[in-house]
Amino acid sequence: YGAEKTYDFYDSLFNRNSIDNLGLTLLSYVHVQVGLVNAFWDGTEMNYGDGDGVTYTPLTSMEITGHEITHGFTQYTAAFTGGNEPGALNEGFSDCFGVSVRRMGEQSNNVDWLIGDQIGGAVFRDIQTPANTTNPVCYQGANWDFNTQEVHQNSTPFSHCYYLIVEGGAGTNEFSETYNITGIGIYEAEQIWYRMQAFYNTPNTQYADARVSAIQAATDLYGGCSPEVIAVTNAFYAVNVGAAYFPTAPVAGFNAGTSYCSVPASVSFTNTTTNG
């Protein structure tokens, strides 16, 4: 059911025919290994463990299914490689669309921001309040893994940014940066995140690059200076990536050709306006 809803998610919201946009069959294998508390995309198909049989049940809940299949989507789009920041963004993006797939599958306008809360045991990640699962809220802030750059650990500033874009929020982060975000809701956030990943992110994208990609995607869809662009910019600022949104007035400028001798005259104008 999770695989079906993941297909429907990409098809109905983005007109994408499976994760590769070419109708790739979503193969899902269960009972993988013995006592495996894990699920993973292996580059070709899905693999689900049964859990440990004591605390964890099979890892086939809807947000996990959506998370893992979305790794396949990323493979066919941004193609994040390896670990470090691209790896963290890979995990964070899958968490974002994992909860969105669950939202669609449960036919709800509300989003459950937990990863792994339906399979017993401790929740893997809390996107709304990352500190609850000892994950970082801010890029390179408390709980950030500077030593091994473990990708799941360092993914949550990116997924928490998604939460803030959807729900909004206000406060002062651990870097003394005061933010105030008006949420735009899940539906517009999903469109921005999809466009960011499908058209702008690249294999070596870093957190700062993802911010630029997301702002550009929001601009493409909703226009410069839109509430969506403001929300995206300020959400990244809230997690210590880039500056807050600062409106700048356009500076109008036009150049016109000076030769009007022909009859009828042909006049060319060049728009040199800056700041949008």
Q: Is 160 a known active-site residue? A: no
Please tell me the distance from the alpha carbon of residue 178 to that of residue 152, in angstroms, as a whole number: 26
Phi, psi of 126 (to 5 degrees): -115, 105
> Do residues 174 and 249 make contact, with C-beta atoms less than 8 angstroms apart?
no
Q: Could you tell me how many residues make up the chain?
A: 276
The residue from 152, 160, 167, 188 that is catalytic is 152
User: Could you tell me where the beta strands, DSSP code E, fall in 3-132?
Assistant: 28-29, 39-41, 46-48, 114-115, 125-126
- In b/e form, how buried is each residue of 24-42, taking b as 16+ CB within 10 angstroms? bebebeeebeeebbebebe
Q: Is 71 a known active-site residue? A: no
Decide: helix, strand or coil at residue 100. Answer: helix
Tokens found for residue 164: 């803030």
- Residues catalogued as catalytic: 68, 152
